[in-house]
Amino acid sequence: MTVLSVNVNKVALLRNARDLGIPSVTAAAAACVQAGCDGITVHPRPDQRHIRPADVFELAEMLDVEFNIEGNPFAGPEGGYPGFMNIVRKVRPAQATLVPDAPGQTTSDHGWDLAADAARVTPLVGELKDLGVRVSLFVDPDVDQIARAPAAGADRVELYTEFYARAHAAGDDEAAFARYAAAAAAAQDLGLGVNAGHDLNLGNLARFVTIPGILEVSIGHALIAEALHMGLAETVRAYLKILEQTR
């Protein structure tokens, strides 16, 4: 069965809009775990616009499910940001997902070009594995790129799923689905585990995970947005109940 890792970045983004400490990232993660998720994902970026290093360390102390830290391994110390590799070295999460984010990038929007980057990535993958951290490389559904992942030392690849999500939303995902199925099969033939993430949601997830061998999906933005809608009514009722007691 495919497991769910909930990305709590957007909780931190909302928290950072005010200096009140709410919503709590750790409380949100605990609620997700209590609801049955299998892991928590964070993506600490150098600009600290959402998850901050302190959040990562607090989550590491409290979680009893798999912790996945994703980010660019070449993002070094900057201001109050200690550098991605230094965070992972300290925490030693179950999994590190290495993503080729550029500085200032709004969100992850492409996978590694391992033809160009493997020489730099491979030593860092080796270091992380020596620390006992499982390493996943963020990749497009490109079998040529995936074929290079074992030589880089990766344990898994995470398929960047925006292409599928856009095709599904447009009502014609057959070609995209076939592309991802072929990519997943190619990865597994090479002995790689397969994760997936980006723009998966309640509307498109069920079809996607019929692809054999998808071990884990990491979902954040859509899940938090859906929770806002699905939980708003109950929250309003809770406020009204308090007010009704004063009438």
| Positions marked active-site | 43, 70, 198
DSSP code of residue 184:
H
Cβ neighbours of residue 74 under 8 Å, at least 6 residues apart?
84, 120
Element (H, E) at 53: helix 53-62
Query: What is the CA 244 to chain-centroid distance, rounded?
Result: 41
Closest CA to 104 of 67, 125, 78, 80: 78
Q: What would the two tokens of residue 129 be? A: 């594995």
Task: Find residue 40's DSSP bridge partners.
Answer: 6, 67
| Bond prior to 103 in cis (omega within 30° of 0) | no
The Cα 99–Cα 231 span in angstroms is 31
Contact 176, 164 (CB under 8 A): yes
**DSSP SS3 for 17:** coil
Element (H, E) at 149: none
